[in-house]
Structure 1
Amino acid sequence: MKYYTIQPPDILKPYVRFFWVLEHELSASGSEYVYRSIADGCTEMVFHYQSTFDEINGRGQENGGPSGIQFQTNHYRRFITRQSFGIFGAYIYPFAVPRFFNIPSSETTNLTLDYDTFLGSAGRELEERIMLAPNNQKRAVILTDFLLMRLRYNTFTDDRIITSIRQVIHTNQHKTVAQLADAFNLSARQFDRRFKEYAGFSPKSYLRLIRFQDAIKQYGSNKSLTQIALECGYYDQSHFIHDVKTFTGYHPGFYFSGKAEGTEYRNADLQ
């Protein structure tokens, strides 16, 4: 399995964390690969340029899963393919959704939409160009041009809230909602409403998601689960176990073992 990232140009870095590529060859006839996406406070634009995945629902049934935008979510999902695959994606901040698409993030939470449904003819054209591109560097250029064009026409922005979301994602300070609201000179009610508009979740729910993501970033370290939980702001082991099970479907002991679905790319990244 091959996984790597491509940095966006500086002008896009305030909105796009990185582009990514995941490729895998299924050599044996009749083999399959199951991928499990976990809860995430950011949004992903996903393009399947080699084969496609079907989503496995709660009853074990498979439904078609085309390329599309997977918005910020507090759910895990499962996908399956029986062919070698190649995926190109963009990992974007939730507050970039209003800037790129002129829609509040609060209206997109837990949605997955294909490009035709969400963007119409512009989405269809973008998907076709990405699919026909000769390599992933070119795909990054095509998507960069598309997103820069969207920035020129949309001005949906609230710098204070964007700064607060960045702070939550990157500083690992484990502040309370009241502390964040006070830091940006907003009442708790104002802060909650505006934060949800740009992050897709209430501040309390988003802080929980980011705390979980901070813990997942410790994947591959030699730290004990207890140490990870404490460093990421969990007051006790039971809350840590509950969040990991809710957001991945696995007990943390199994998820961090390297045997869980959807961790293969993390293992490849460690090699």
Structure 2
Amino acid sequence: MHYKEIEPGARLKPYVKCYYTYESDAGAAFEDTVFPSGCMEMIFNLGDGLWQTATQGDFVTHPAIELWGQLLRPLPVRSVGKHNMLGVRFFPHAAAFFLNDKADLFNDRVTDYRHICGSSAGQLHNRLLETVSWQQRIALVEDFLWQQLLRAQSRTGKVTIVGHVMQELNQPGFFDNIENVAARYGITSRYLQKLFLQYTGLTPKLYSKIHRFQNSLQLVIRKEDSLTAIAYDCGYFDQSHFIREFKSFTGFTPSGYSPDQSPVTLATVNS
């Protein structure tokens, strides 16, 4: 597997966390689990391989253009065949610019983005298939996203508020309550909760939990600290609280988890 992250161009840096390419040479099928990340993603499948998601016991094949909503729980997936993929990882608040519905409607599922955006998304996919250079492919995607962004400028003010609040929540040692945070922006906490759900698919509390979990996941993978130290460094009440929350997002206890069990996680960690 070959995974590589690419920085977005200047005009899309406030919205796109990164682009990434994912290529696999081996065609052997394997199963994996994807964990909540706090980000929504768009993935263009440009190879012959298939990705599938476990839904009610059956595996459902992903569409040519995948929109990954916010995951609130671990999601089993299966890879079949060789892959050639181009992904867009949005900042948590920014995917709302490229959706016609509330972000929380896409939680815990993979949606065909062509059903959201229409024929222009399908035309982009065809052009990507005809283009060999990754640089040219990313340029095509950037132009497409920029046009979508221009059509959604009426949302800018509200999305900006959500983005600023997320920056506050991400600060080390943040302890303020949501009522005080909302008051700093001249809105009620109830309205802030509504904005979060609409534009990120998450509540502020759940976003903070996922952000904390992702920090702990990186430390668990490094295996440099004890579970007690990781729990303390990531702001958990105690080790049992850390273990319980880690398992809810991965299906594993921290001591029972290894990135070797997850080819997708291992590829991203070693990028």
If the length of structure 1 is used for normalisation, what is the TM-score? Answer: 0.87
Which range is displaced more, 213-222 or 234-243? 213-222
> Matches of 1:173 and 1:68 in 2, distance apart?
36
Identity of aligned residues (%): 26
Q: Is the 8 A contact 1:106 1:200 kept in 2?
A: yes
1:215 is matched with which residue? 216
Which range is displaced more, 113-122 or 92-101? 92-101
> Matches of 1:267 and 1:160 in 2, distance apart?
31
1:49 is matched with which residue? 46
**SS of the counterpart of 1:103?**
coil
Q: Is the 8 A contact 2:30 2:80 kept in 1?
A: yes
Letter in 1 for 2:24: H
**SS of the counterpart of 1:63?**
strand
> Matches of 1:76 and 1:132 in 2, distance apart?
35
2:230 is matched with which residue? 228
Q: How many residues matched?
A: 263
Q: Is the 8 A contact 1:32 1:82 kept in 2?
A: yes
Which residue among 102, 105, 119 is the counterpart of 1:104?
102
Gaps of 5+ in 2: none
Task: Tell whether 2:261 aligns with 1:260.
Answer: yes
2:163 is matched with which residue? 162
| Distance change >3 Å, CA 258–CA 73, structure 1 → 2 | closer
Q: CA deviation at 1:2?
A: 1.6
Which range is displaced more, 100-109 or 137-146? 100-109
Which range is displaced more, 156-165 or 182-191? 182-191
Q: Is the 8 A contact 2:16 2:90 kept in 1?
A: yes
Equivalent runs, 1:141-180 vs 2, <5 Å:
141-155=139-153, 156-157=155-156, 158=158, 159-168=160-169, 170-175=170-175, 176-180=177-181
Q: Is the 8 A contact 1:36 1:77 kept in 2?
A: yes
**SS of the counterpart of 2:72?**
coil
Gaps of 5+ in 1: none
1:120 is matched with which residue? 118
| Distance change >3 Å, CA 13–CA 260, structure 1 → 2 | same
> Matches of 1:110 and 1:248 in 2, distance apart?
14
**SS of the counterpart of 1:263?**
helix
Offset from partner CA, 1:89-115 (integer Å, 9 cap, x none):
010023222322343323333342112
Q: Is the 8 A contact 2:68 2:106 kept in 1?
A: no
Which range is displaced more, 65-74 or 11-20? 65-74
Offset from partner CA, 1:201-237 (integer Å, 9 cap, x none):
1211221111112222333251222222211111111
Q: CA deviation at 1:268?
A: 2.9
Offset from partner CA, 1:62-112 (integer Å, 9 cap, x none):
221223100122122122223222221010023222322343323333342
If the length of structure 2 is used for normalisation, what is the TM-score? Answer: 0.87
**SS of the counterpart of 2:46?**
strand
> Matches of 2:171 and 2:223 in 1, distance apart?
20
> Matches of 1:58 and 1:230 in 2, distance apart?
37
> Matches of 1:172 and 1:18 in 2, distance apart?
23
Which residue among 128, 131, 144 is the counterpart of 1:130?
128
**SS of the counterpart of 2:242?**
helix
> Matches of 2:16 and 2:218 in 1, distance apart?
18
1:13 is matched with which residue? 13
Q: CA deviation at 1:8?
A: 0.3
| Distance change >3 Å, CA 82–CA 200, structure 1 → 2 | closer
> Matches of 1:267 and 1:162 in 2, distance apart?
26
Q: Is the 8 A contact 2:100 2:116 kept in 1?
A: no
Q: Is the 8 A contact 2:38 2:70 kept in 1?
A: yes
